[in-house]
Structure 1
Amino acid sequence: MKLSVLDQTPTPNGQTSQETLQHTIELAKVVDDLGYNRIWYSEHHGSPNLASASPEIMISHIASTTKRIRVGSGGIMLMHYSPLKMAEVFKTLSTLHPGRIDFGVGRAPGGDRFSTLALHEGRHPNVLNSYDKLMETMMFMTETMPEDHVYSRTLAAPVGAPLPEVWLLGSSGSSAAQAGRFGIGYSFAQFISGDLSSSMLDAYRKNFTPSEFMEKPQINVGYFAMAAETEEEAEYHAASLDLNLLFLDKGMPFQILTPEEALNYSYTEIDKMQIENNRKRFLVGSAKQVAHTLREHEEKFGISEAMIGTISHSHEARVQSYQLLAKELL
């Protein structure tokens, strides 16, 4: 199984954004050396505890400081941007780092309504044209805009650039078939919904049509995960994300407290039930236990790449989790 990384650049309570981004660079170098397949950066707006609002800038820097790992967006929230600009950005990145750039696209806003309004300069965005914008972006990238299209006389520079891989991100399965028809990769966010199913992935494979971006279907599945030497140690560090997810379920701000603070939090019985339910999205245990679950999913769903997002208060525990999983699976 291939292993990859989703880095949401979490900023634990008490840590500065500068420290977070330095840790981001350190982690990228570690997983590059370990043999991870790709690393993606998310796009979040308006959050003091998530430092990546501009994945395209993160990609440029990380690709320059690593050797072989693919680097991409997980994802660009295309509703905020023009297809021409995104095509130019990722053609430039792919020219600078040929064969290493991924253009992962999400259809969500990546922030609250206030951030979305600001990104659109006070106008309400049209969220119904996400697939049209993605198709236009890909036509700009391949320089195949139809002659009767309003943009037919516009080229996205640099001309003749090597193409990035293009991926569509989804969390409900509704976009799986569309990703197949576009001939691009499909990334399912198990860490959001916890509802991975064979029928969803089969819909992608059944509808897949080869394109200039991909000859064969590619799927990866994103998981929250915390692995450690022992199950007890993993549970200790996982307490921070358990509480964070509970806060988000209650509409509270994203924040990453220490494991001690999380373990001493006053949970109601309903809170405990919600945390248990959220564990469908979150793999926690010794590295052998987590690896066993991933191998089970590989066999059951036919997936060959797991994209791991590890959020903890301790940077050292986070790095160790990726190291231990690499030892078990790579």
Structure 2
Amino acid sequence: MKLSVLDQAPITKGHTAQDALNYAVELAVVAEELGYERIWMAEHHNTNGFASSAPEITCSYIAAKTEKIRIGTGGTMVMHYSPYKMAEVFKSLSALAPGRIDFGAGRAPGGDHFAMYALAEGRQPEVNHLYEKINHTLQFIKEEAPLIPYYNKVIASPQHIVLPQSWLLGSSGNSAIQAGKMGMGYSYAQFFNGYMNRQVFDAYRENFVPSTFMEKPEIMISYFVTVAETKEEAEYEAKPADIARLLFMRGQVDLLRMTPEEAKDYPLSEMDRMWIEDTRYQHLVGTPTEVADFLRQEQQTYGFDEAMICSIPHSQETRLNVYRLLAKEMLH
């Protein structure tokens, strides 16, 4: 199984946004050394909790600091941008790092409604024709101008470059068939709701049409993971993320993640503890062997090709160790 990295550039308590972006670069370098397939940067707006607001910029910097790991966006939130501009951004990235760039397209806003309207300059955000926007972007990337009057007189520069891989992100299964028809890879976020359905992935494969971006269907599943040498240590490091999920569910979306020491003494009601336990399928916690065994079983059940790991312990060293331990268990 191929392993990859999803990074949201999290800002944990006691660290700055600049730290978070520097840590993203460090993580990419370490992931490359460990044999991870790719690293994707997420897109988040109007939040103090994540520093990844312009993933394509971070990707370009990471590309200059690495040599072989694939780099992309998980995802570019297409409602906010012109297909023409997105195509030129990813063609430029691919010209600078040929054979290493992924255009990961997402249909979510990546922020609240205030961010949506700010990005749309006060206009009604584009939410109804997102598959069409993605298709127009793909056409521009492969140098086929969409048949629309204001598009058919322009070219997306730079021309004649190695095409990036193109992926469609999903979290409910509704986008699987569309991804197949457009000849894109399908990246499914298991950690959003924990829901998995083999029929969704089968529908993607059945509807897949080979394209210049993807010769055969490729499915990648994103998991939220905390591992450590022992189960007890993993639970200790995972508790801040569990509390963050709980607070997010309550609408407290902009709090910095606390330290494990603070989380250890955080007052949780019995109902809080039950909620965390009942939703633990969205957060894989354990030893490397336990998590690796679970991922291999998931692969057998659902037939995906690649697991993308998102991990947000409080400290950078602990986070790097999560990826080291998983690589040791699954890649070597």
CA distance in 2, matches of 1:245, 1:222: 17
Q: 2:328 — aligned with what?
A: 327
Q: 1:102 — aligned with what?
A: 102
CA distance in 1, matches of 2:132, 2:157: 20
1:150-165 superposed matches below 5 A: 150-165=150-165
Is the deviation greater in 100-109 or in 258-267? 258-267
Q: Which runs of 4+ in 1 moved over 3 A?
A: 146-150
TM-score normalised according to structure 2 size: 0.97
Shift of 1:154: 1.1
Cα deviations across residues 21-43 of structure 1 (Å, max 9, x unaligned)?
Answer: 22111111101000000000000
Q: 1:264 — aligned with what?
A: 265
Q: 2:22 — aligned with what?
A: 22
Shift of 1:123: 1.1
* Kept after mapping to 2: 8 A contact 1:13/1:49: no
Q: 1:33 — aligned with what?
A: 33
Structure 2 counterpart SS, 1:221: strand
1:1-330 superposed matches below 5 A: 1-146=1-146, 149-254=149-254, 255-330=256-331
- Gaps (5+ residues) in structure 2? none
- Gaps (5+ residues) in structure 1? none
CA distance in 2, matches of 1:19, 1:181: 40
Cα deviations across residues 41-82 of structure 1 (Å, max 9, x unaligned)?
Answer: 000001111000000001100011011100000000000000
CA distance in 1, matches of 2:198, 2:147: 40
CA distance in 2, matches of 1:207, 1:69: 29
Structure 1 counterpart SS, 2:221: strand
Give RMSD over aligned pairs: 1.1
Shift of 1:317: 1.0
Match for 1:216: what amino acid? K
* Kept after mapping to 2: 8 A contact 1:7/1:309: yes
* Kept after mapping to 1: 8 A contact 2:230/2:287: yes
Change (3 A) 1:147 1:190: closer
Percent identity for Structure 1 against Structure 2: 52
Structure 1 counterpart SS, 2:122: coil
TM-score normalised according to structure 1 size: 0.98
* Kept after mapping to 2: 8 A contact 1:94/1:100: yes
Shift of 1:13: 1.1
Match for 1:53: what amino acid? S
CA distance in 1, matches of 2:53, 2:112: 13
Shift of 1:151: 1.2
Shift of 1:150: 4.0
Shift of 1:304: 2.1
Shift of 1:117: 1.1
CA distance in 2, matches of 1:151, 1:266: 57
Shift of 1:270: 2.3
CA distance in 2, matches of 1:153, 1:21: 38
Match for 2:92: what amino acid? T
Match for 2:140: what amino acid? F
* Kept after mapping to 2: 8 A contact 1:245/1:278: no
Shift of 1:148: 6.0
CA distance in 1, matches of 2:35, 2:15: 28
Structure 2 counterpart SS, 1:72: strand
Shift of 1:7: 0.4
Match for 1:9: what amino acid? A
* Kept after mapping to 1: 8 A contact 2:80/2:126: no
Shift of 1:268: 1.9
CA distance in 1, matches of 2:14, 2:287: 27
Match for 1:159: what amino acid? Q
CA distance in 1, matches of 2:113, 2:146: 35
Change (3 A) 1:152 1:318: same
